[in-house]
Amino acid sequence: MSAPGRSQALNPGARSAQGRPTPGRFISFEGIDGAGKSTHIAALQGWLRARGHDVLLTREPGGSPLAEQLRELVLHRPMDALSETLLIFAARRDHLQTCIEPALARGAIVLCDRFTDATFAYQGAGRGFDLHVLQQLETWVQQGRQPDLTLWFDLPPAQAAERRAAVRAPDRFERQDLDFFTRVRDGYAQRMQQAPQRFARLDASTDRDGVWAQIEQALEQRPWW
Ligand SMILES: Nc1ncnc2c1ncn2[C@@H]1O[C@H](COP(=O)(O)OP(=O)(O)O)[C@@H](O)[C@H]1O
Ligand SMILES: [Mg+2]
């Protein structure tokens, strides 16, 4: 990866799309289960740290002590879609306030394994939860905060299921069928249509080197390195 290494330092005083000062950068990793997010978020963390960047690697739901407790409930207890959605946004609120915003304020690069696009894709498109309610919760909870870049790891649900089956037992979400993951994938596509500048769609069906090359390209295309 060449472009980030050229400057070594982020651009102090840069402003987010919302006009708020954001010395740091916020990159979210999205895509269906088994798409390769965790694999590549760790690789990017190592790559950035080796170049001297302050990096916060975090995830949703979870990321803060309280939000991790809420994650346990959401992932392992049966509940209706509204309860699930409210817990996810409560976790997000705490995660933003106690982890993400302080890290961005000190100039860190925040790498987040899933963020709000996952709520629209899983709870909205996947489970049919009311998108207008999600939009309201997004507005209330995030106060304009959005990732500066969202890397969408896109691949056919059947291929993702093969990768998952090779390595781990499924949780409550991963046990869903291929139709569910097809709806989730469509949900991500809709979110990208609504914010095309924020998104970089990666063809995650290629091998690891191929995916990494696409991540490099997405970063090089950003003006903020
Ligand atoms: N490009 C790739 N080609 C083949 N296997 C991959 C690739 N990326 C990740 N994997 C493997 O697929 C599985 C799921 O990857 P993971 O990063 O855990 O996905 P996610 O975090 O999106 O659910 C892991 O076993 C991982 O090693
Ligand atoms: Mg993962």
Domains defined along the chain, listed by start = 21-220 (3.40.50.300)
- Indicate the residue type of 163: R
Pocket test for ligand 1, best of 39, 45, 122 (most atoms within 8 A of CB): 39
pTM given for the model: 0.90
Closest atom of ligand 1 to 153 CA is 22
Q: Which two tokens stand for residue 104?
A: 């961005």
CA of 50 to the centre of ligand 1 (A): 23
Phi, psi of 218 (to 5 degrees): -60, -40
Residue 105 CB coordination number (10 Å): 12
With a 6 A CB cut-off, is 160 part of the ligand 1 pocket?
no
- Kindly state if the Cβ of 33 falls inside 6 Å of ligand 1: yes
Q: β-pairing, 149-154 with 55-59?
A: unpaired
- Which of 62, 136, 134 shows the shortest CA–CA distance to 94? 62
* Residues contacting 122, CB < 8 A, separation 6+: 173, 184, 187
225 residues of the chain, pLDDT tens digit each: 443 333 333 343 444 444 455 589 999 999 999 999 999 999 999 999 999 999 999 999 999 999 999 999 999 999 998 999 999 999 999 999 999 999 999 999 999 999 999 999 999 999 999 999 999 999 999 999 999 999 999 999 999 999 988 887 766 666 678 999 999 999 999 999 999 999 999 999 999 999 999 999 999 998 776
Count the helices and strands in the chain (H runs, E runs): 10, 5
Classify 127 as helix, strand or coil. coil
Q: Which atom of ligand 1 is nearest to the CA of 31?
A: 22
Dihedral of the alpha carbons of 187, 65, 47, 167, in degrees to the nearest 10? -60
